[in-house]
Structure 1
Amino acid sequence: MQNRNDKCWCGSEKKYKKCHMEIDEKIREFELKGHIVPDRGIIKTPREIEMIKASAIVNTGVLDHVSKNIKVGMSTEDIDKLVYDFTTENGAIPAPLDYEGFPKSCCTSINNEVCHGIPDKNIILKEGDIINVDVSTIKDGYFSDASRMFVMEGASDEAKKLVDITKECLEVGIEQVKPWGHIGDIGAAIQEYAESRGYSVVTMFGGHGIGNEFHEEPFVSHVGVKDTGMLMVPGMIFTIEPMINIGKPQVYVDKKNGWTSYTKDGSLSAQWEHQILVTEDGYEIISY
């Protein structure tokens, strides 16, 4: 146990009693009551938060750049080039590129593709399409991650409503983020909201801790039970990224490419993703 007058373990140069001591004591109280608590590796230091936010600035810039340029008639390979060029021109690296063999710089998932769609010169955006563009960035060794939906002209009212409801699911989930709450609160709120409006929530995938690595603990399910799961503590950073289907929640992964996930019943799917920092009084959205 750290001495109260030593410099804090987080590298802030403050005395432990003036920095993380109170938080650590509160974590121990929850742990003694049987709650799942984060270890120090999950709680980011002030320096790590600063560096992750710098990565997130580039990541948000990438999505802004895509938003200004995406249009009917372009290929998903064209989108990938926008992502790669903007990222590298800003001194960063696209995190998906070569990640566990993924061949491109972003994911482009259209209509009934749930996630991990692979950009391709032969896949052309058409009128009526909805597409998720998921981008992740490494800058100076630190990771950021977010995605947005884009609605092409001529999209049906059904498709537009799905995109809107999915964004609302994300917002409902984010509202649950607060110190000393639980990760399960996020999924419980998203599931209740989506199902009350007649939609289903994909359970095969979820959000995740991120910052020092691309994927860290905790796993953030988009379904759940309130007051369960890991304790949320100031300094934790994770994504919330609900995937919502018009039809049933079941999905499958393309056996040929090993990545792209589709709705099993062929129904439309949408996803929005933000990267969230737990603060001492709530949350901060750092990439969106």
Structure 2
Amino acid sequence: MIHIKGPDEIQQMRVAGAISKAALRVAGTMAIPGVTTAAIDRAVEDYIRAQGAKPTFKGYGGFPGSICASPNAQIVHGIPNENTVLQAGDILSIDTGATKDGWVGDNAWTFLVGEVAPEIQGLCEITRDCLVAGIEQAVPGNRLGDIGYAVQRLAEAHGYGVVREYVGHGVGRKMHEDPNVPNYGRPGRGVKLQVGMVIAIEPMITLGSYDTRIWSNGWTVQTADGLAAAHYENTVAITADGPLILTADELGPWCAMHGGIESEGEAPRDTEKPEQEVSQKPLAEPDDASDSISPDSTAVLPL
């Protein structure tokens, strides 16, 4: 069942969202060579608790961390640990969640650790752009298929894979509510978006195949071919005035991609890289995601 939120409830979710985004900023500033993902996890948990909130992920279904820390070929649900030491050239996807006064904020970002290979930076840039494209479709009267189509069209036009098995979701008093929000689909199909719906839009895009495998720990998901993946996420409310990002950064439009950056801004994109036009070629068959995945489907919800 989809839970419609009123203005006061959405405002409370903005508080939780602001904490989750600020926690993500804390994590991003630590995404530099020599730092362990366990150290990032501790810092994020300390920050969230200092705000009078709880780390949503910790203990969720038995998950041991306060963040998901997924480097390189890991897509989602990487478990922070002392043995994963960041190195220059890595990328690190960090997913944070904060629960404040019973409301959840959920977001994710992929950070570049030092200088990375151009093809890896390109993947991250396009995945971030896919998030923007999906959010732009989050308006009343559109359907979930419009969001998924926008993400899929942009990613596949640049030759990337769109993960099928893991999808976005509704957010509210629970981290995972209806509806599921896939990153692929057909325009005009699926659940109609209504004012008061709150959803997590989270493209998970791969450098190669979209096939995945799960580690023996039962959590960590990585690409089956071992190629890199990127993951960006915001919690978004559907309003009469358009999409409202509840996990927006309170300090301004912070969109740093390079780990260790504390202020607004980032290293410029490679201006030598030619602009690529979005192809009009047919999209890869979305496995009949036109109805945007029913709540009883086998799709898995990321944390």
TM-score of the superposed pair, with normalisation by structure 1? 0.84
Cα distance in 2 for residues equivalent to 1:209 and 1:54: 17
Percent identity between matched residues is: 37
How far off is 1:69 after superposition? 2.9
TM-score of the superposed pair, with normalisation by structure 2? 0.80
Higher relative contact order (CA 8 A, sep 6+): 2
Unaligned regions of 5+ residues in structure 2, if any?
249-303
Cα distance in 2 for residues equivalent to 1:183 and 1:156: 34
Aligned to 2:90: 129
Q: Which moved more, 1:238-247 or 1:152-161?
A: 152-161
- Which residue, out of 185, 191, 207, partners 2:146? 185
Cα distance in 2 for residues equivalent to 1:127 and 1:148: 18
How far off is 1:67 after superposition? 2.3
CA deviation vs aligned residue, 1:29-56 (integer Å, no higher than 9, x gap): xxxxxxxxxx6x5111223212111111
Aligned to 1:43: 4
- Which residue, out of 251, 265, 268, partners 2:228? 268
Cα distance in 2 for residues equivalent to 1:99 and 1:258: 13
- Which residue, out of 61, 75, 83, partners 2:22? 61
CA deviation vs aligned residue, 1:49-95 (integer Å, no higher than 9, x gap): 12111111111111122223331100000110111010001100000
Cα distance in 1 for residues equivalent to 2:98 and 2:175: 9
Aligned to 1:277: 237
* Mapping for residues 1-288 of structure 1, pairs under 5 Å: 42-254=3-215, 256-288=216-248
SS of structure 1 residue aligned to 2:98: strand
Cα distance in 2 for residues equivalent to 1:179 and 1:125: 42
Cα distance in 2 for residues equivalent to 1:52 and 1:178: 18
Q: How many residues are treated as equivalent by the alignment?
A: 248
SS of structure 2 residue aligned to 1:83: helix
Structure with more of its chain in helix, by fraction: 1
Unaligned regions of 5+ residues in structure 1, if any?
1-38
Cα distance in 2 for residues equivalent to 1:93 and 1:123: 24
How far off is 1:281 after superposition? 2.6
Which amino acid in the other structure matches residue 98 of structure 1? Answer: G
